[in-house]
Chains A and B, each alone.
Chain A
Amino acid sequence: SQELEQSPQSLIVQEGKNLTINCTSSKTLYGLYWYKQKYGEGLIFLMMLQKGGEEKSHEKITAKLDEKKQQSSLHITASQPSHAGIYLCGALSDSNYQLIWGAGTKLIIKP
């Protein structure tokens, strides 16, 4: 079965620094979703990628899907306290056309 692995599991970054979170699949990705979650709250949709080499940006967050469509990265430029939270990737399952999820990356921003 398809699995999504996120790395790192957690990340502590000084405010103002850049950072990257990765999401790697055991199979080809046919739709990759990035969400952000504050602790104890629901998920907020960030971006969706479908095509190999695709890149999308929202404010200071950029997400890319590699050409082979097996890995996606989420890059935050000049991090701010508002970026703190848990980032989750979800991908289309090849078995029932529903989303499977990575375990999440917990991001802490140090002032």
Chain B
Amino acid sequence: DGGITQSPKYLFRKEGQNVTLSCEQNLNHDAMYWYRQDPGQGLRLIYYSQIVNDFQKGDIAEGYSVSREKKESFPLTVTSAQKNPTAFYLCASSIFWRAGGDTDTQYFGPGTRLTVL
């Protein structure tokens, strides 16, 4: 079955540590996205990638880094520079990167809940 997988489902991090969240898709989509969701707030865009070997900062990129070496994979690293990393992280993908049409509909993975101890 085609879809998006994220791992791990739960992640605990000590202060000062970097952690990497995995996101894999087998939908053959060009575009991939990382969002952060906090209680009572809408999703906020961290990074997005239009195509392999290319990515752009979103609204809240500080303290995060990404890579896009393969079409299927878009890992997110939460660095120690991120002051308040406890949140629910969602990865998504779409056929094209430019939202606004049917082919730009974003499909989401199940999410990773990160907690800083």
Interface residue ranges, A against B (CB under 8 Å): 4, 9, 30-31, 33, 35, 40-45, 48, 50, 88, 90, 92, 96-104
Residues of B within 8 A of A48 (CB): 102, 105
Residues of A within 8 A of B75 (CB): none
Fill in one digit per residue for B26-44: 1 if any A CB lies within 8 Å of its CB, else 0.
0000000100000011111
Would you give 7 A-B contacts (Cβ < 8 Å), ordered by A? A30-B100, A35-B108, A40-B111, A50-B101, A88-B42, A96-B56, A101-B43
Could you tell me the distance in whole angstroms from the C-beta of B48 to the nearest C-beta in chain A? 6
Interface residue ranges, B against A (CB under 8 Å): 4, 6, 33, 40-45, 48, 56, 58, 88, 90, 92, 97-102, 104-111, 113
Asked if A99 and B40 make an inter-chain contact with CB atoms under 8 angstroms apart, the answer reads no
Asked if B45 and A98 make an inter-chain contact with CB atoms under 8 angstroms apart, the answer reads yes
Asked if A97 and B40 make an inter-chain contact with CB atoms under 8 angstroms apart, the answer reads no
Residue in A50, A99, A103, A104 with the greatest tally of chain B CB atoms within 10 Å = A99
Asked if B108 and A43 make an inter-chain contact with CB atoms under 8 angstroms apart, the answer reads yes
Q: Quick one: closest B residue to A95, CB to CB?
A: B59
Asked if A104 and B42 make an inter-chain contact with CB atoms under 8 angstroms apart, the answer reads yes
